[in-house]
């Protein structure tokens, strides 16, 4: 519970309505989309503007009260659970599009806007914001920036980091900093903009963002290819790229995922196939046409059992059902679903998926794998039960081995979900002790009192398992 003195100061900043600390409020903000990390905050606060944020932060910095900035908490790394109590800051009052600038191709927004709402406003003007995290119907742009969210279009268009060109944020001492702007080029000092992107709320609070837009692609074509083996599908992924084609989307489902999706969605998938690729290309009509035909050819040469190209947008939508249904289908099997995002160079996809299958078997846990084949970003997903302590230990061990294998193949522990609490013990595996030290130096210099989202990114104890260091 907050001291009365502190509570009074916070209320005097935001008003009585915007500080909540009833038991039901505290419970509502005690968890995010990650299983097993629930913790109660001391209060929930709703700033109305940047000045409010700055004043709140100053109070919290003086009294060393943790602040957890939170969008809609769809993250999968336990990035927004208030593990050390303190206040959860939410941005329901700061959810506006401030400016959509068609001449400079930018949109300036407040952090609380729901990503899809912004995307729809942008597309209504014939413009395009490419990052499309699967959570975008619910997640906020502030959350996306803090996690550097990816999505299905990352292969061709990149991730959130590639579209944030200006920020306003509040430092842990209450200072307000503005970086970048409506500028394609800006090298005035260190790149604070990208430092804040993906910093998971541990360095400050983002209060405004200017995002780069591009013209909306004229057309899109969707296709689905089925393979007997994962290896053949993996080789096709490499062959498409080797043919100098970069599709917008290049997704895959492994055999166990296909089985589960068909059981759930009954869309007529042949459950005996070894892998499915979902491929989309967008751009000018003639290029999309040409690329799609070439991709279909490459799929067939690569041993696809069948290749379907959608003739209409509706058919295209239908083809994406299998991929879209994957998480829902998997989630219904067991009480707890743990969705990971170990990532490898794209040439290592098949090898990685095979390794995951072996790891699952060896540890006697059930893992299905699907994800973004084109950028090597896999989603090995474990169906388990968090109440079964013995099984959870095996799950933890299996994921440890998955991360180790990813690193061994030149990959990373997280492609798009972030580190949070969940992957903090493994951070040094990817970045080394020297890398963690460099990050901690930044953290300590920005936030000496460790008020900003404490307990995230940096683990109290790292797993000391020895891994191959390049």
- Within residues 391-450, the interface with its own copies by CB under 8 A covers 410-419, 423, 427, 430-432, 434-439, 441-446
Q: Which is nearer to its own copies, 273 or 421 (CB)?
A: 421
Q: Which is nearer to its own copies, 223 or 250 (CB)?
A: 250
Query: Is the Cβ–Cβ distance between 383 and 330 less than 8 Å?
Result: yes
Q: For the window 124-143, what string marks contact with its own copies as x by the rule CB under 8 A?
A: --x-----------------
30: Cα within 13 Å, side-chain hemisphere: 13
Q: Least distance (Å) from its own copies to the CB of residue 396?
A: 18
Of 365, 462, 349, nearest to 410 by C-alpha is 349
259-288 residues near its own copies, rule: CB under 8 A: 283-284, 286-287
Number of chain positions touching its own copies (CB under 8 A): 92
CB contact at 8 A, 220 and 281? yes
**Least separation in angstroms between CB 194 and its own copies:** 4
By CB under 8 A, tell whether 290 contacts its own copies.
Answer: yes
User: Do 351 and 402 contact (CB within 8 A), yes or no?
Assistant: no
Q: Using CB under 8 A, which of the segments 15-23, 37-45, 177-185, 320-328 binds its own copies?
A: 177-185
Nearer to its own copies, 190 or 268 (CB): 190
Q: Looking at residue 292, what DSSP letter applies?
A: H
**Does 461 interact with its own copies (rule: CB under 8 A)?**
no
216 versus 308: smaller Cβ distance to its own copies: 216
Name which of 365 and 419 has its Cβ closer to its own copies. 419
Stretch that binds its own copies, among 6-14, 39-47, 181-189, 225-233 (CB under 8 A): 181-189
Tell me which residues in 189-248 interact with its own copies (CB under 8 A). Answer: 189-192, 194-195, 197-199, 203, 214-216, 238, 241-242, 244-246
Task: Name 90's Cβ contacts closer than 8 Å, sequence gap at least 6.
Answer: 29, 44, 45, 46, 70, 71, 112
Q: Does 85 bind its own copies (CB under 8 A)?
A: no
Q: Three-state SS for 174? A: coil
- Contact status: 182 vs its own copies (CB under 8 A): yes
Q: Are 159 and 151 in contact (CB under 8 A)?
A: yes
What 3-state class would DSSP assign to 198? coil
Residues in region 91-110 near its own copies by CB under 8 A: 101-105
**Minimal distance in Å, beta carbon 420 to its own copies?**
10
Q: Return the residues of window 296-335 that contact its own copies according to CB under 8 A.
A: none
Q: Beta partners for 343?
A: 377, 412
Q: Token digits for 50? A: 């940047």
Q: Which residues contact 451 (CB under 8 A, 6 or more apart)?
A: 57, 60, 61, 64, 65, 66, 67, 86, 172
Q: Tell me the closest approach of the beta carbon of residue 403 to its own copies, in angstroms.
A: 10
- Which x/- pattern over 356-395 shows residues binding its own copies (rule: CB under 8 A)? ----------------x-xxxx------------------
Tell me the Ramachandran region of residue 63: left when phi exceeds 0, alpha when psi lies from -120 to 50, beta otherwise.
alpha
| Residue 337 to residue 331: CA distance in whole angstroms | 6
Residue 48, CA atoms < 13 Å, CB-side half-sphere = 10
Nearer to its own copies, 190 or 390 (CB): 190
Q: How far is the CB of 437 from its own copies (least distance, A)?
A: 7
């Amino acid at each position: 519970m907050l001291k009365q003195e502190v509570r009074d100061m916070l209320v005097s900043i935001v008003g009585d309505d915007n500080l909540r600390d009833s038991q039901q409020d505290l419970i509502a903000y005690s968890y995010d989309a990650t299983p097993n990390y629930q913790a109660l905050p001391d209060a929930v606060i709703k700033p109305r503007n940047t000045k409010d944020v700055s004043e709140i932060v100053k109070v919290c910095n003086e009294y060393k009260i943790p602040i957890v900035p939170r969008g809609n908490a769809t993250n999968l790394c336990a990035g927004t659970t208030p593990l050390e109590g303190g206040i959860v800051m939410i941005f329901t009052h700061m959810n506006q599009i401030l400016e959509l600038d068609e001449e400079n191709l930018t949109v300036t927004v407040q952090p609380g806007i729901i990503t899809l709402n912004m995307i729809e406003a942008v597309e209504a003007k014939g413009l395009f914001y490419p990052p499309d995290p699967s959570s975008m119907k619910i997640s906020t742009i502030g959350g996306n920036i803090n996690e550097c969210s990816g999505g299905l279009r990352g292969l061709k268009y990149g991730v959130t980091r590639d579209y944030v060109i200006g920020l306003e944020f509040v430092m842990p001492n209450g200072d307000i900093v503005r970086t970048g702007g409506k500028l394609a080029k800006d090298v005035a000092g260190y790149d604070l903009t990208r430092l804040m992107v993906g910093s998971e709320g541990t360095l400050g609070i983002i209060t405004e963002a200017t995002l780069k837009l591009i013209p909306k692609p004229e057309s899109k074509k969707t296709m689905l290819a089925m393979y007997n083996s994962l290896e053949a599908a993996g080789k096709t992924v490499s062959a498409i790229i080797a043919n100098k084609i970069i599709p917008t989307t290049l997704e895959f489902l492994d055999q166990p995922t296909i089985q589960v999706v068909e059981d759930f969605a009954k869309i007529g998938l042949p459950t005996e196939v070894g892998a499915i690729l979902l491929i989309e290309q967008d751009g000018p009509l003639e290029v999309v046409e040409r690329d799609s035909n070439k991709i279909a050819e490459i799929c067939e040469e690569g041993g696809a059992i069948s290749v379907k190209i959608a003739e209409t947008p509706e058919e295209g939508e239908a083809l994406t059902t299998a991929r879209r249904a994957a998480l829902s289908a998997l989630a219904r099997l067991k009480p707890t679903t743990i969705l990971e995002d170990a990532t490898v160079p794209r040439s290592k996809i098949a090898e990685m998926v095979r390794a995951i299958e072996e790891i699952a078997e060896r540890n006697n846990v059930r893992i299905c794998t699907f994800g973004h084949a084109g950028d090597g970003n896999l989603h090995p997903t474990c169906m388990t039960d968090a109440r079964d302590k013995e099984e959870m230990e095996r799950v933890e061990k299996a994921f440890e081995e998955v991360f180790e294998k990813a690193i061994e193949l030149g990959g990373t522990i997280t492609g798009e979900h972030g580190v949070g609490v969940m992957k903090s013990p493994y951070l040094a595996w990817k970045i080394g002790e020297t890398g963690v030290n460099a990050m901690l130096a930044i953290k300590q210099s920005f936030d000496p009192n460790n008020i900003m989202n404490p307990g995230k990114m940096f683990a109290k104890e790292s797993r000391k398992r020895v891994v191959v260091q390049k």
